[in-house]
């Protein structure tokens, strides 16, 4: 748990002195922002003060009128914890005294009612058989996943691709963060059409983008292009392990010493990415 400390805001708010591109070329401005963030990856947060800082880039880009970059040390918490903390600083526009609310999935109560068919012995036996088969599938999938995880840690490595971490990579190695903005309305539309989840759609978009990139990269080299069929590429997807308890006020969390939304509470899944398509 953290402890109360005195924070000097001026030590954590950095206003960049970057100047707007003279001809307002948005592509050059976007690259300038990417360059600035890339340079941040080569520096570390000062451990003598609170482990966060905010960089304000007062320049217009193709996506926004200005940019702010928030940098946090991972010991402060994972992404969900930080988003809970951020939401706790806001209030509803309809009720300035109320905190934002988050949708919470409710249990389907229709399954709680017992129909006449379930009283039938044959129907009950069929239900038990289905549940037993689902349990066996869960058990087998768990054994396979654990075995693959152990094999990955020992010897089953990904193929050498442009996505593979290069040898000699260290924490001080310069990194570049490339991003693309995707409309949430488009994601919801695809989700409805395919009867999938938002996470499924985002993973599919990521896989399609990586596949297009690698095919363009290997298009001129027939030998390398033929090796795409044997290419092994996997991604680590993080998942939140917290129950959805809603947003609490910062003062209330501090007063009650709440630990539900603080710290790191996450799991991860290794998912194969099909590059050959």
> Among 260, 252, 250, which Cα is nearest to 81's?
260
At what angle are helices 198-218 and 184-194 packed, to 10 degrees? 100
Residue 14 main-chain phi, psi, to 5 deg: -115, 120
Burial 132-141 (b: 16+ CB within 10 A, else e): eeeeeeeeee
Is the separation of the CB atoms in 234 and 159 below 8 Å? no
| Exposed/middle/buried for residue 47 (C-beta within 10 Å: 0-12, 13-18, 19+) | exposed
On whether the CB atoms of residues 98 and 246 are closer than 8 A, the answer is: no
User: Largest Cα–Cα distance in the chain?
Assistant: 80
Which helix (H) or strand (E) covers residue 217, if one does?
A: helix 198-218
Residues 6+ apart with CB under 8 A from 48: none
Provide the annotated active-site residues.
74
CA pair distance 209, 229, nearest whole angstrom: 17
In 10 A of CB 251, how many CB atoms?
9
Which strand ranges, in their side-by-side order, compose the sheet holding 13-15?
13-15, 52-57, 67-72
């Amino acid at each position: 748990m953290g402890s109360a400390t005195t924070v000097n805001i001026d030590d954590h708010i950095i206003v960049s002195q970057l100047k707007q591109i003279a001809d307002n070329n948005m592509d050059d401005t976007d690259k300038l922002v990417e360059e600035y963030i890339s340079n941040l990856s080569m520096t570390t947060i000062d451990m003598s003060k609170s482990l966060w800082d905010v960089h304000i880039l007062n320049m217009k880009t193709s996506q926004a009128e200005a940019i702010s970059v928030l940098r946090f040390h991972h010991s402060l918490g994972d992404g969900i914890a930080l988003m809970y903390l951020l939401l706790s600083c806001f209030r509803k526009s309809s009720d300035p005294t109320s905190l934002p609310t988050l949708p919470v999935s409710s249990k389907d109560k229709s399954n709680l009612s017992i129909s006449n068919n379930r009283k039938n012995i044959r129907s009950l036996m069929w239900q038990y058989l289905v549940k037993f088969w689902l349990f066996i599938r869960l058990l087998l999938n768990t054994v396979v996943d654990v075995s693959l995880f152990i094999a990955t840690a020992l010897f089953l490595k990904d193929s050498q691709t442009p996505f593979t971490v290069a040898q000699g990579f260290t924490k001080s190695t310069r990194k570049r963060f490339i991003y693309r903005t995707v409309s949430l309305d488009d994601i919801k539309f695809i989700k409805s059409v395919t009867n999938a989840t938002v996470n499924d759609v985002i993973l599919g978009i990521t896989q399609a983008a990586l596949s297009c990139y690698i095919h363009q990269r290997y298009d001129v080299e027939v030998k390398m292009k033929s090796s795409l069929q044997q290419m092994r590429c996997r991604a680590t997807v993080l998942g939140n392990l917290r129950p959805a308890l809603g947003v609490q006020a910062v003062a209330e969390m501090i007063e009650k010493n709440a630990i539900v939304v603080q710290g790191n509470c996450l799991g991860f899944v290794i998912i194969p990415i099909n590059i050959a398509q």
